[in-house]
């Protein structure tokens, strides 16, 4: 008797996280908005179900609907949620925290002060949870570069996995202690953001890799 292979659940094909497509497909990262303070990022995967206190939501029922749709749970639950297209701002509100993060107000101010522009090259030291990185990636665009450095190996590995899964092709992530070892073989950086416990230790290295009239910003609570 011939053996029959067990059916396998199709794996989602990752799509670029930030896009303008109207309809949800398998492999998409979506932001589930439940309340102002409760947001959850999930990847649409065949056979998966999202449960919360508001109800039960099969991923397959989300495929093909428009981003921004209000989705009701089937009976006996009476809850609902909204399925949103990801943006850096929504990712900031729903990301898994590995460190303290910057939120949109601070990110916007820092981006303005650094003079970040489409096609430019900007550097951040202290990748952390990647909140700032996602915004910088969008700001410099496809022709720009974001050079990001993280000295803590587990955080570096997790950030690397996320950036690759989100299609951030303009982000170059390095595992490096910039306060001791500098930034390596880079040059013509237009702006540097230092989110480090002792940012002044990295400033001498930063001045060597920057263009004329560069901008340096640091964040320390």
Q: What is the pLDDT of residues 112-161, one digit of tens each?
A: 999 999 999 999 999 999 999 999 999 999 999 999 999 999 999 999 99
- Residue 74 is part of which domain span? 29-86
Taking a C-beta distance cutoff of 8 angstroms, is the pair 178, 149 a contact? yes
C-alpha–C-alpha distance, residues 88 and 113, integer Å = 19
For 187-202, write each residue's pLDDT tens digit.
999 999 999 999 999 9
Nearest to 114 by CA among 195, 176, 181, 171: 195
Residue at which a domain ends, from 86, 109, 131 = 86
E strand residue ranges, 117-209: 121-125, 145-150, 171-175, 189-194
Across all residues in the chain, what is the average pLDDT?
90
Paired residues of 43 in beta bridges: 29
106 and 180 part of one domain:
yes
Q: Determine what percent of the chain falls in helix, strand and coil, rounding each to the nearest 5.
A: 25, 30, 45
Residue at which a domain ends, from 86, 111, 135 = 86
77 and 93 part of one domain:
no
99 and 192 part of one domain:
yes
Instruction: Tell me what pLDDT residue 211 has.
Output: 83
81 and 96 part of one domain:
no
For 13-24, write each residue's pLDDT tens digit.
556 678 889 999
C-alpha–C-alpha distance, residues 151 and 160, integer Å = 13
Global pTM reads 0.85
């Amino acid at each position: 008797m011939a053996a029959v292979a067990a059916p396998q659940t199709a794996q989602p094909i990752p799509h670029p996280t930030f896009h303008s497509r109207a309809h949800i497909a398998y492999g998409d990262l979506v932001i589930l908005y439940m309340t102002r303070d409760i947001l959850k990022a999930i990847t649409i995967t065949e056979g998966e179900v999202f449960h919360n206190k508001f109800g039960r939501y099969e991923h397959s029922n989300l495929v093909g609907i428009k981003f921004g749709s209000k989705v009701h749970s089937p009976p006996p639950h009476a809850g609902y949620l909204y399925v949103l297209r990801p943006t850096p701002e929504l990712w900031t509100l729903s990301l898994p925290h590995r460190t303290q993060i910057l939120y949109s107000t601070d990110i916007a101010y820092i981006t303005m002060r650094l003079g970040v522009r489409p096609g430019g090259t900007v550097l951040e030291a202290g990748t952390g949870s990647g909140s700032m990185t996602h915004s910088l990636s969008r700001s410099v665009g496809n022709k720009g570069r974001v050079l990001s450095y993280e000295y803590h190996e587990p955080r570096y590995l997790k950030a690397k996995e996320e950036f690759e899964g989100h299609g951030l092709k303009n982000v170059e992530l390095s595992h490096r202690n910039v306060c001791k070892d500098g930034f390596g073989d880079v040059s013509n950086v237009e702006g540097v953001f230092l989110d480090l416990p002792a940012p002044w230790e990295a400033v001498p290295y930063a001045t060597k890799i920057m263009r004329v009239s560069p901008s340096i910003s640091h964040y320390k609570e």
